[in-house]
Amino acid sequence: MLATTVTRHADTGITDVRLAGALDLVAASRVRVLVCKCIADDPHAIVIDVTAVDVVSDIALTVFPALYRQQSSHDTPVPLLLYAPVTSHAAVAIRGRSVGTHLSSPTARPRCDGC
């Protein structure tokens, strides 16, 4: 089961979406709906933290490129950043699938100064 936490930072306009648990096709569908709702709120950016995700089904990773396409069709595209320490299970799986995302190191947690 995949747990989700959404935190909206009014001071920066950034929305954090933290995912934890098993990412399978059912969970990927839930992630898509959740992030699409976040996109509709028109934040400055959305950070999707997959540090604690266990990729059960590689095909479920296609949710991330699908979300990128979704946000790019939004009236005002919302930057999406997929975050995980480079050695995490999710990061290794994502790099192996060439999902086309940027994963940063644990010390390079994204910040927005002056959003």
- d(CA 76, CA 37) in angstroms, rounded, equals 14
Q: What is the pLDDT of residue 97?
A: 60
- d(CA 75, CA 98) in angstroms, rounded, equals 27
Give per-residue pLDDT as tens, 99-108.
444 444 344 4
> Across the chain, what does the average pLDDT equal?
83
- d(CA 115, CA 14) in angstroms, rounded, equals 8
- What value does the mean pLDDT take over residues 55-59? 89
Q: What is the reported pTM?
A: 0.79
- Among left, alpha and beta (phi > 0; psi -120 to 50; other), residue 32 is alpha
Sign of the C-alpha dihedral computed for residues 55, 59, 61 and 67 taken in this order? negative
